[in-house]
Amino acid sequence: MTNKSLVVVLSLTALILLSSAGLLLVQAQAENRQCETCPMTVDAEAQEHFKVYDVDGNRHWVECTGCTFKLLKTYDSLHVETFCDWYGPEYPITIDISQHGAVATVNPPTVLLLVGGGCTGNRIAYNQTAADELLSKGFSSYTMHMMQQTLPANTNVTTVSAKAMTFAASSIDETPQNYLAPAIVAVVGVAVIVVAAVAYKKMKKQKE
């Protein structure tokens, strides 16, 4: 391969890598979201499990019930659409909270929260039977994969109304998005450009 051909190949490789970095960044933003109240990523499964909107209809991205209620520190009112961690999507749950957690309307009114410490220990149950099953087994096939584990012995079972104010008073830990993969591809692309530039300069000197 001639020096000229090498420079062309390196330049094309750099262009492809930089384009790939852009595509990876767009894909990461589209598929995964950063939880607004904890360091965890809200993947497609969590996005389907928790749909949270403020009074203006803007959607907010959360990982669990605890993260949902922490939003009340910032937003006066929230509309939450989710489903039972034991019975699944056929048992939808809606929650409307206002006055930063002081007022809560829950449908059905039998809904219970299981608070086991941290996102992976939080569950939402359609009724007492579902709560008992979750306490016993920890999860069902409808519980998000990252949360399919047993619950600690000190897991607290309570109502939405009783817990909303507690979560609303919690602090919000903001964590930036993780763009490591696109960044690595972009760095490699830039490195290839540098190599191509050096090769081009050497080629010019050889001609001179």
Identify the pLDDT of residue 23. 43
Residue 95 domain boundaries: 36-168
Total domains, the chain = 2
- Structure token digits, residue 152: 């600690």
Identify the pLDDT of residue 155. 97
Identify the pLDDT of residue 198. 66
In one-letter notation, the amino acid at residue 86 is: W
Query: Does residue 157 sit in the same domain as residue 186?
Result: no
Query: Does residue 96 sit in the same domain as residue 154?
Result: yes
Identify the pLDDT of residue 55. 95
Residue at 186 is within a domain = yes
Chain-centroid distance, C-alpha 95? 20
Identify the pLDDT of residue 125. 98
Pairing, β 78-84 against β 122-125: unpaired
Q: What is the pTM of this model?
A: 0.67
Identify the pLDDT of residue 146. 93
pLDDT means over runs of 10, the chain (208 residues): 57 58 44 92 96 97 94 94 98 95 95 95 98 98 96 96 71 43 61 64 66
Which CATH number do you get for residue 142? 3.30.450.410
Residue at 132 is within a domain = yes
Q: 37: how many CB neighbours lie within 10 A of its CB? A: 28
